[in-house]
Amino acid sequence: MVDKLDKSNEAWQAELDEQRFAVCRLKATERPFTGAYCDTKTPGVYQCFCCAHPLFDSQSKFDSGCGWPSFFAPINEQALATAEDLSHGMQRVEVLCARCDAHLGHVFPDGPAPTGLRYCINSVCLQLIPRDA
């Protein structure tokens, strides 16, 4: 079980820049192919920018060609939460940080083996902690 971090939107707005607040707290999306981690190959752990909760290991990152960092699995079963997203006239599965409920992106059933999933994640929601070589 993950210890939840509960902050008001006003507190988050004071801590995050405008784009991060819009994406992480208001469920916006960064433009494709513009994020810092879209093409990154650096080994390490991707954590939530808002609360530093570990989310993905770089070993699960792959190039999906979609314009956002893509992963086939979270770092562990407690890393993420999901919610139904019916916005924009579509039915999708929203991906959230399990600790602070930051909107991260969406998960789709068109990823590679072994999971068949594609976690399509906004770069601004992530912070890469490089692994010592």
77 lies in some domain: yes
The C-alpha atoms of residue 52 and residue 65 are separated, in whole angstroms, by 27
110 lies in some domain: yes
CATH number at residue 49: 2.170.150.20
Q: How far is CA 90 from CA 23, 28, 34, 85, 95, in A?
A: 18, 15, 23, 8, 15
pLDDT of residue 90: 85
pLDDT band at 26 (very low <50, low <70, confident <90, very high): very high
Q: Which helix (H) or strand (E) holds 56?
A: strand 54-57
pLDDT band at 54 (very low <50, low <70, confident <90, very high): very high
> What value does the mean pLDDT of the chain take?
95
pLDDT of residue 118: 97
Percent of the chain with pLDDT over 90: 91
Q: Which of 78, 66, 80, 77 is nearest to 126 (CA)?
A: 80
Which of the residues 97, 100, 120, 125 is marked catalytic? 120
User: Phi, psi at residue 114, to the nearest 5°?
Assistant: -90, -10
2 lies in some domain: no
pLDDT of residue 119: 98
pLDDT band at 89 (very low <50, low <70, confident <90, very high): confident
Q: Kindly state the average pLDDT of the residues 59-86.
A: 95
4 lies in some domain: no
Q: Kindly state the average pLDDT of the residues 2-10.
A: 91
114 lies in some domain: yes
Total count of domains within the chain: 1
Residues in the chain, overall count:
133
Task: State yes or no: is 120 an active-site residue.
Answer: yes
Which residue range is the domain that position 48 belongs to?
A: 9-130
pLDDT of residue 64: 94
106 lies in some domain: yes
pLDDT of residue 43: 97
1 lies in some domain: no
82 lies in some domain: yes
Is the separation of the CB atoms in 5 and 110 below 8 Å? no
Residue 133 has pLDDT above 60, yes or no: no
